[in-house]
Amino acid sequence: MLDFGILGVTMRMATPILLAGTGTLYNDRAGVTNITLEGSMLLGGFFAVACSFFTGSWGLAVLAGIATGVAVSLVFYFLTSVCGGDELVVGFSMNILLDGLSIFLLKQIFHQSGSLVDERIAGVPQISSGMLGRIPILGDLLDGQTWIVYFTFAFALLTWVVLYRTPFGLKVLACGENPQAAVTVGVGVLKIRFLCNLIGGAACGLAGVQISLGFLSLFTQGMTVGRGFIALGAVVFSKGNPLRLIAVTLFFGFAEAMSNRVQLMQLPSELVLMLPYLAVVILTFVRFDRLRKRTQKQEAC
């Protein structure tokens, strides 16, 4: 059951969560509470499949997915920052709206309900090279993944550099820590938050592409199954640190990979499917309990 192949599955499972999570990290650090990950990933995945269906090109599909994510984030930005909507209410409703929209479009464009499977859909190719495949352990990890997987981890590492080593990143951090102080030093808080919104949206769209076109090439309604929310949880656990985010999402990815593997054994699939979500809950208890103990110590005289 446990061979090094599971490392590859872990990376693949972690990718959408890490990707959406890293994009949302920008929002989180800048002080924006954008919970539309789930809906954004879903609709991005849908439009990627639709585009691939009509054009046969996975490259255009990727662009379609990213564009969808950006569009979603623009709508969110408009409704909240411009029109004064509450971020949680708008975010929550948008998730429902986007899910419904994907089902609606699935029916109206493709006359399908449930899934869209068609050989015309071109998936994102998996990169498999004989040489890479033969390297022990690392080969299992890296071989056969789509370029989106490599990009995601690079993006997460790059985010660390951006946040902590570039002026833009510092401005983002300032906006989130203390927007009033940031304004006094001349940081354009609204502009920074707008840009972070876009980055988050693009990342979520791409994550959706990975889900729908990255392994199998199809779209199923609700195919994100809560991964957007798991990513949200990961962002909370990461405390804003991209490196910690990588660790957390690998943990969740591993839980999902295990649930895949274990299904092949005699264990009931339903119980095993619970694993990723239970992982989040367990981590919540572990992490917050430590946080609580630390605050208690601080307060005592």
**β-strands 115-117, 218-220: how paired?**
antiparallel
Build a one-symbol-per-residue string for 67-96: x at contacts with other proteins by CB under 8 A, - elsewhere.
Answer: ------------xx-xxxxxxxxx-xxxxx
Give the sign of the dihedral formed by CA 156, CA 157, CA 163, CA 167. negative
Build a one-symbol-per-residue string for 147-176: x at contacts with other proteins by CB under 8 A, - elsewhere.
Answer: ------------------x-----------
Q: Does residue 190 belong to the site contacting other proteins (CB under 8 A)?
A: no
- Nearest-approach distance from CB 66 to other proteins, in angstroms: 22
# residues contacting other proteins (CB under 8 A): 65
Contact 209, 148 (CB under 8 A): yes
- Nearest-approach distance from CB 15 to other proteins, in angstroms: 20
> How far, in Å, CA of 155 to CA of 153, rounded?
5
Q: Does residue 243 belong to the site contacting other proteins (CB under 8 A)?
A: no
Query: Dihedrals φ, ψ of 250, to 5°?
Result: -65, -40
> How far, in Å, CA of 21 to CA of 35, rounded?
11
Build a one-symbol-per-residue string for 276-295: x at contacts with other proteins by CB under 8 A, - elsewhere.
Answer: -xx-xx--xx-xxx-xx--x
Q: Does residue 256 belong to the site contacting other proteins (CB under 8 A)?
A: no
Contact 19, 11 (CB under 8 A): no
> How far, in Å, CA of 248 to CA of 236, rounded?
10
**DSSP bridge partners of 115:** 220
List residues binding other proteins (CB under 8 A).
27-28, 31, 33, 35, 79-80, 82-90, 92-101, 103-104, 106-109, 111, 113, 165, 185, 225-226, 229-230, 232-233, 235-236, 268, 270-271, 273-274, 277-278, 280-281, 284-285, 287-289, 291-292, 295, 298-301
